[in-house]
Every structure is written in structure tokens, then in C-alpha cells.
Amino acid sequence: MKDLVVIGQGYVGLPLSQAAAKAGFKVTGLEVNQDVVDGLNSGSSHVEDISENDLRIMLENGYQATTDNSVIQEADVIVICVPTPLGDAGRPDLFAVEAATEAIAQHLVKKSLVVLESTTYPGTTEEILKPAFEENGRQLDEDFFLAFSPERIDPGNKIYRLENTPKVVGGASSKSGDLAVEFYSQFIEEVVKVKGTKEAETAKLLENTYRHINIGLVNEMAKFSHELDIDIWEVIKAAKTKPFGFQAFYPGPGVGGHCIPIDPSYLNYSVRKALGHPFRFVDLAEDINNSMPNYVVQRIQDLLNEHQKSLKGAKVLLLGVSYKANISDQRHSPAIPVGQGLADKGAELSYHDANVAKWQLNGEELESVAGLDEAVQSADIVILLQAHREYDLHDIGKKAKLFFDTRGATDSDEAYVL
């Protein structure tokens, strides 16, 4: 049995810990948050994709969580899965990565394989991690091994999970890359080795920049299609019948989550830093996608005006405040700027989300309405922001005074769509 330390026990680190423990590794989850550690060790999971039963099995297989960095000394493999949010002016905030790197450098005594999974800009692995580990005379491929492997966790996805999603790895050397492939191959069905760490780092950014730009394209088309009286949803439905050369993307109230609003900015930062000019596609897509919450607010105001109702004082019910359907994760959810925009114009806001019992907006804590039918019928307008599976959209469309669907998810003739 090999010892594995996974630094960071969030939506990436905990599923990785689960898969490795199931494959026979002795797994220790290293966390800075003592409350998270206490919860995990007592069998309480804070990650939706890991059930209490999953965690119980992990604990039975020897998994434990800790805040003690000294566990690094016994590790054969160390994987860094810490958050990398955006800092000021779009600059990546690598505080957590740097702290993890420092902890490893202080406690690295075995010839361990270190893998960074946290999303970052190209060059991070070799510019930050490698020099830190080479202090005190240590040498790559003699005293430690180093690789980068981008996380591809899709929260709530029941089809593609960690084990059956191809895993990209790039080593700081060929030997390091081979060891990373060997490690991940023990619990992931397909592992793809690329040339080096920069290529692996950039692959993750390309994946989400591709999505970001194409979502920006259809969002822009949704705006002018409305003005030209064209049904953009029917257009996309028709276009995707082509069996080659087209992939369907859909407009919405904005982009959210842990990847699309952030990853393209890493790539843009890297281009600006190295070449002195912006990645213009990213800038344009960001402008368009960031404009969508305000566009939704304006559409709501126009729709109410057409029905002789002011937005100020109107009872507005939001359906779904998470960043994607059927999960509770609210990171960068477009519901926040949409809600703020409506509140700033004087709307009386309420929301419903079976996955989110309490929601923070403008410093105020709101509670999900208890009776959905009653809330729908009493609202001046109902806005669908996430098409959670429990919503009977045809029924909601019939009962609502006005129903605005930002997801093109309803077949109700009474609904207005983005």
C-alpha cells in the first residue's frame, strides 16, 4: 500500500481521495480548515458528489483528514487540489498553491511524486513549485518527481465522474510524467500523457476558454435575435441537426461555476504577461457574458412595462440560484448579479431552490419559499434561472402571471424566453 496525501479536501480533493482509497492507497486529506477536518473524520461530507456512505467506506479503508503538515513526510505521492481564485485585476491568486508548496518543501523527505491539480496559468509548476522543491540541494528525478494534471471534475455529473473522465498529465521531466501516469492509471480508466507541464496547464484553460467563447457567441446572438424577432432556441435546435462541424451551446443569464468565469482569465493573464497584449477573444467573450445579467434585468423591466407594471415594487420570484441545474453550488452564479440588478431597481425579491435553503444577496440572507405553487401565483413575474429537475415548467408557465425563461427549457406557450 502506498501513502497518498491530498492537499485540499474540497470538490476536487475529496473525490480524488475517495477514488485512490478505493484503489488501495492509504489516503490522508490535508486541510487548513479544522471544521472540515472534524466533519470528515466524523463521517460528515461537505461535498455533494461524496455521500455520507461514500465517506464511511473511505474511513473504513483507512482514510483520515488532518491539519498536520508533517503527514507529508510519509507520502509517496502528494497531490495539490487547492483553490486558485482570481485576485485583483484578473491576476491569479496563488496564495493557497504557494502555501501548499511551502509545506511540501519543508516536509519532503522521501522521493515523492508531487502533482499539482489546481487550475493556474501556464508555467506555474516549473516556475513556482520546482524551484521551491530544489532548495537545499534536492534535484528533480533524484530527490522528487513533479507533474501537473488538470482537474476535470464536473459537480453533479452522474455520467462522467473522476474514474471515467480521461486524465491529462504532463511531467516536469519524462520520468515524472511516467510516474504520474502510473499513479493515476490505478484508479482512472484512461490517462493521457502530454509533452510537459505547460501543455497540461494550457489544455485545461483551452477547454474552458472554448466554452466561454462559444457561450459568448450564442449570448450575443440571443440579444440580436430577440430584436429581429427570431427564436434563437429554434435556431440552435435546427443547427445541431448537422452531424458534423457544429456543437450546440446555449444562451443564458450569465456564466457561473468554478471554471468558465475564471479559467479564461488565467490564459489572458499569461498572454498579457508574456506577450504584452490581451487575448482578444477572451476579452470579448467576457464582456458579452458579463453583460447578460443586466440584459436579463432589462428584459424583465421591459416585459413588466408591456403589461402596465413597474419593476419597482413588483413581486419577483427567482427559480434556481445555483450556478448549474440540480446542485447547490452557488460559486459565481449569475443569479447573484441578476438578483442584485432587480433589487437595485426596487423589485421585491423572493426565490425558490430545493438545493439552496438559504441564499445571501446584498448582505441579506433570504430563505427559499416554502410553497412553490403559492409563490408562483402571487408573484408579478417568475424568472427561471436554473431548470432544476423538480420544476414542472409547463405547470409553472400556466400558473404564473408572467413567466420568463432564461434557459429555453419550457414548452409553455405562456412563457417568454431569453
User: What phi and psi values does residue 32 have, to the nearest 5 degrees?
Assistant: -90, -20
Under a CB-based contact definition with an 8 Å cutoff, are residues 27 and 66 in contact?
no
Residue with cell 519532503: 108
pLDDT for the residue numbered 90: 66
| % of the chain residues with pLDDT over 90 | 86
Please determine, for residue 414, whether its predicted confidence score (pLDDT) is greater than 80: no
**Residue 53 neighbours by CB under 8 Å, 6+ apart:** none
**Closest-CA residue to 69 (of 29, 96, 129, 42):** 29
| pLDDT attached to residue 268 | 81
Cα–Cα distance between 83 and 97 in angstroms, integer?
8
Query: Whole-angstrom Cα distance, residue 323 to residue 14?
Result: 20
Quick check: 385 and 320 in contact, CB under 8 A?
yes
C-alpha span between 303 and 325 (Å, rounded): 25
Question: 297 versus 362: which is more confidently predicted?
Answer: 297
- Give 265's pLDDT tier (boundaries 50, 70, 90): confident
- Residues 197/172, Cβ–Cβ less than 8 Å: yes
Question: How do residues 81-130 score in pLDDT, each as one tens digit?
Answer: 999 988 776 677 899 999 999 999 999 999 999 999 999 999 999 999 99
C-alpha cell belonging to residue 390: 423538480
**pLDDT above 70 (res 41):** yes
Pairing of strands 167-171, 145-148: antiparallel
For residue 255, the model assigns a pLDDT of 92
Mean pLDDT of the chain: 94
Cα 173 to Cα 170: distance, rounded to the nearest angstrom: 8
The predicted pLDDT at position 131 comes to 97
Q: Give the number of other CB atoms < 10 A from CB of residue 208.
A: 22
Rounded to 5 degrees, what are φ and ψ at 333?
-65, 135
Total count of residues recorded for the chain:
418
Residue 413 has pLDDT above 90, yes or no: no
| Domains annotated on the chain, with CATH | 3-195 (3.40.50.720), 229-258+277-417 (3.40.50.720)
* pLDDT higher than 90, residue 243: yes
Q: Please give the pLDDT value at position 136.
A: 85
What pLDDT does residue 274 have?
A: 79
Instruction: Place 415 in a pLDDT band, splitting at 50, 70 and 90.
Output: confident
* Of residues 76 and 269, more confidently modeled: 76
Phi, psi angles (nearest 5°) of residue 78: -130, 125
259 is catalytic: yes
Half-sphere exposure for 65 (CA within 13 Å, toward CB): 26
Compute the distance between CA of residue 80 and CA of residue 95 in angstroms, rounded to an integer: 13
Task: Say what the pLDDT of residue 122 is.
Answer: 93
Q: Which one from 259, 318, 375, 400 is the annotated catalytic residue?
A: 259
Looking at the chain, the number of H-run helices and the number of E-run strands are 14, 15
Cα atoms in the 13 Å half-sphere on the side-chain side of 291: 15
